[in-house]
Amino acid sequence: MSGDTLFVFGLLLVTVLLFVSDRVRLDVVALAVILVLMLSGLLTPAESLAGFGDPVVLLLAGLFVVGEGLYRTGIAFAVGDWLMRVAGTSELRLLVMLMLVVAGLSAFMSSTGAVAIFIPIVLSLAARAGISPSRLLLPIALASLIGGMLTLIGTPPNLVVSIQLEREGLAPFGFFSFTPIGALVLMAGIGYMLLVGRHLLPNRVTGNKRRRARRSLVELAEAYGIRGQLRRLRLGSDSPLSGHSVEQAMLLTRYQAMVVGIERDGLLAPALSNTRLNAGDVLLVVGADTALTTLCKREKLTEVPLRDYHFRTVTKELGLAEVLLTPNSDLIGHSLIEVNFREHHDLTVLGVLRMGKPLEGEFARIPLAFGDSLLVAGGWKDISRIQEGHDDFLVLSLPREMDEIAPNRGKARHALLILAVMLLLMTFNLVPGVTAVLLAALAMVVTGCVSMNNAYHSLNAQSLVLIAGMLPMATALEKTGGIDLVAGGLVSGLGDFGPFALMAGLFVLTSVFSQFISNTATTVLVAPVAVAAAAELGVSPYPILMTVAIAASTAFATPVASPVNTLVLGPGGYRFNDFVKVGVPLQVLAMAVTLLAVPALFPL
């Protein structure tokens, strides 16, 4: 063993110890690895920094943008609604459903892509079910890795071992050759998570303190005294309001009733001043009981049921914000009616707080004072405009439900089409995976599904730096002969104990190396050795290579073992040891299933 090889193994050991200690940020450790390899002369600066231009890193970055597009257009919320209807708020049912869906998707597309798409869905589901995201994100990462075992195209190691068979002049694996083994591992994995794994998962609250302190819409409605004043009123065919605009109807002046939104053809839209009212429209109105009763009698309106889910509907369709008057605001000393607030800002004031208490009665006629806070509702563009800065008021906060809304809901079809094209390109290998993802990310921006600013904000820098920093470690191990040394020693040591021992040894070798370097690189190096060992023992290479492929996908035990683990690291608030506690037992279980099932399905 050369000195360079010893140095790299020592560096790998120190890196792993730092990861396990949780005392240094993972991305900082990764950057330190780059510097050490560069300064030691083992790698050139170009080789040390090559990770930042590696297709894996660029693919990850693109998938963050694609996932943001699905989130911003409401697709993630819609899928979350479906899963919530099917699984309810039960953590166990959500865990099973999510693992099945993500594994199924990962069988036909990149596991990284599947997880990137489902992260916003899981965050939405967790928020509505009152569950910490850390209870669900690691299970979907594990499910995506297992899902890659289900088909030939599920993960690159499957293709690598199949191509190795072709190089040896043998028939390659079929598209569904991996399915029986993968299905058994998936069933075992779900059972493990239900019985054991979920008890090892952390229950951490993620996000900053400010976000945790934000109130829900219902809490804001109660604080502003409008919780019991929201009504849905339908315009009759003989209503005098039909044909008039919201401004012409003068409902605030005549009845102290504020029209928040208008439901028409199943859609809820902001009630702008020039919006014309039609028979059959359902008005979302805030006002006192007596005033609304008078309004209904005089204007031929009928009340329709209002349920709690309408509060969520409001946040999905309309923007809401709590704003504070600034010391120099031109609104101070004037009432909302005097300044024509709705006409100037296209926003409806639902309530006013003064000294922490809601103004009662006709607050729209009461002069505003410095320190007053207003709960306003309106279109998303108008909410965005006041968020960007306004001399009269500051945005204090948005309701918690706003984390689940979709400001670009009208672009949902574009986002779905972009996603479908990306999946087709990746499934049939029409273009390289990174090309398909970057095209999809660019299309999300060009079509307006996500703004460029939001695209940049969606990038998880820690994940990208971590992957980019650890890729040079794989290069160093290959360059110094470290992997060849370990693989060769293992095969020569276990060959005398028969094919079953060889399968077990290759599984352990491949699985362990896949925790720290690319599973594709590991498979490329181990596959030729596995074929040679099978020939030496006089056994079929099919079960040996199948074992190597399955082992390469058991990258469960570290956050750097696979990009999917890195993806959920930040959103789930996980630590290095969380992956070890949950992942190592699952690796052992997957190994047991593989060693029992592979010889039965692929005779030695």
Stretch (H or E) spanning 184? helix 179-192
Distance CA 557, CA 548 (A): 17
Quick one: pLDDT at residue 473?
Answer: 81
Who's near 248: CB < 8 A, 6+ residues apart? Answer: none
Could you tell me the CA-to-CA distances from 602 to 50, 181, 503, 504, 527 in Å, in that order? 40, 10, 12, 15, 17
Which residue is it, tokens 């069933």? 187
Question: What's the confidence (pLDDT) of residue 240?
Answer: 92
pLDDT in the model for residue 208: 38
pLDDT number for residue 436 = 87
Burial class (CB in 10 A: 0-12, 13-18, 19+), 427: middle
What would the pLDDT profile of 13-38 be if each residue is shown by its tens digit? Answer: 888 788 767 678 778 888 999 999 99
| Residue 492 to residue 292: CA distance in whole angstroms | 86
Percentage of residues in the chain having pLDDT higher than 70 = 86
Q: State the pLDDT at residue 325.
A: 78
One-letter amino acid at 91 equals E
Question: Across the strands, what pairs with 73?
Answer: none
Per-residue model confidence (pLDDT) at position 80: 63
State pLDDT tens for residues 49-58: 988 888 878 8
Q: Is the pLDDT of residue 89 over 70?
A: yes
Note whether 481 and 5 are within 8 A (CB).
yes
> 345 pLDDT exceeds 90?
no
Tell me which amino acid residue 344 is. H
Of the listed ranges 132-146, 170-184, 329-343, 406-420, the one predicted with least confidence = 406-420
| CATH superfamily of the 215-398 domain | Regulator of K+ conductance, C-terminal domain (3.30.70.1450)
CB 74, CB 176: distance < 8 Å: no
- What's the mean per-residue pLDDT of the chain? 82
* Rounded Cα gap, residues 260 and 468, in angstroms: 49
The residue count for the chain: 604
Nearest alpha carbon to residue 189 among 560, 593, 595, 599: 593
Q: How far apart are CA 31 and CA 599, in angstroms?
A: 43
Banded pLDDT at 439 (limits 50, 70, 90): very high
Pairwise CA distance, residues 142 & 189, whole Å: 8
pLDDT at 452: 86
Q: Above 50 in pLDDT, residue 207?
A: no
Residue 151 scores a pLDDT above 60: yes
CA distance 117 to 108: 14
Which whole-number Å values give the CA distances from 52 to 16, 40, 465, 564, in the listed order? 21, 20, 8, 17
What pLDDT is attached to residue 396? Answer: 66
Residue 174, Cα to own-chain centre: how many angstroms?
32
What is the tens place of the pLDDT at every residue in 445-503? 999 888 887 788 778 777 778 778 877 887 887 788 876 776 667 667 776 777 889 89
At residue 192, does pLDDT exceed 80?
yes
Does residue 312 register a pLDDT over 70? no
Distance separating alpha carbons of residues 270 and 13, to the nearest angstrom: 59
Examine the pLDDT at 211 and tell me if it is beyond 50.
no
Helix runs in 227-373, H state only: 246-249, 251-255, 289-299, 309-317, 341-345
> What local confidence, expressed as pLDDT, does residue 487 receive?
63
**DSSP string of 462-507, one letter each residue:** HHHHHHHHHHHHHHHHHHTTHHHHHHHHHHHHHGGG-HHHHHHHHH
**What's residue 431's pLDDT?**
84
| 303 pLDDT higher than 90 | no
Please compute the mean of the pLDDT values over residues 216-226 and round it to a whole number.
70
**Span of 123-132, 518-527, 553-562 with lowest mean pLDDT:** 518-527
pTM (2 d.p.): 0.59
Of all residues in the chain, the percent with pLDDT exceeding 90 is: 25
Across the range 46-74, mean pLDDT stands at: 81
pLDDT mean over 263-283: 82
Rounded CA-CA distance 31/466 in Å is 8
What pLDDT, on a 0 to 100 scale, did the predictor assign at position 313? 52
Residue 213's pLDDT is 43
Confidence of residue 257 (pLDDT cuts 50, 70, 90): confident
3-state secondary structure of 243: coil
For 350-404, the pLDDT digits (tens) are: 888 887 788 877 788 899 987 788 888 877 667 767 765 566 777 666 665 555 5
Give the pLDDT band of residue 210 (cuts 50, 70, 90). very low
Structure confidence at residue 547 (pLDDT): 96
Decide if 11 contacts 489 (C-beta within 8 A): no
175 near 152, Cβ under 8 Å?
A: yes
Res. 64: pLDDT tops 70: yes
Average pLDDT over residues 148-158: 84
Q: Does position 183 have pLDDT exceeding 70, yes or no?
A: yes
The answer, yes or no, to whether residue 67 has pLDDT greater than 80, is: no
Question: 357: Cβ–Cβ under 8 A, 6 or more apart, which residues?
Answer: none
Please compute the mean of the pLDDT values over residues 74-90 and round it to a whole number. 73
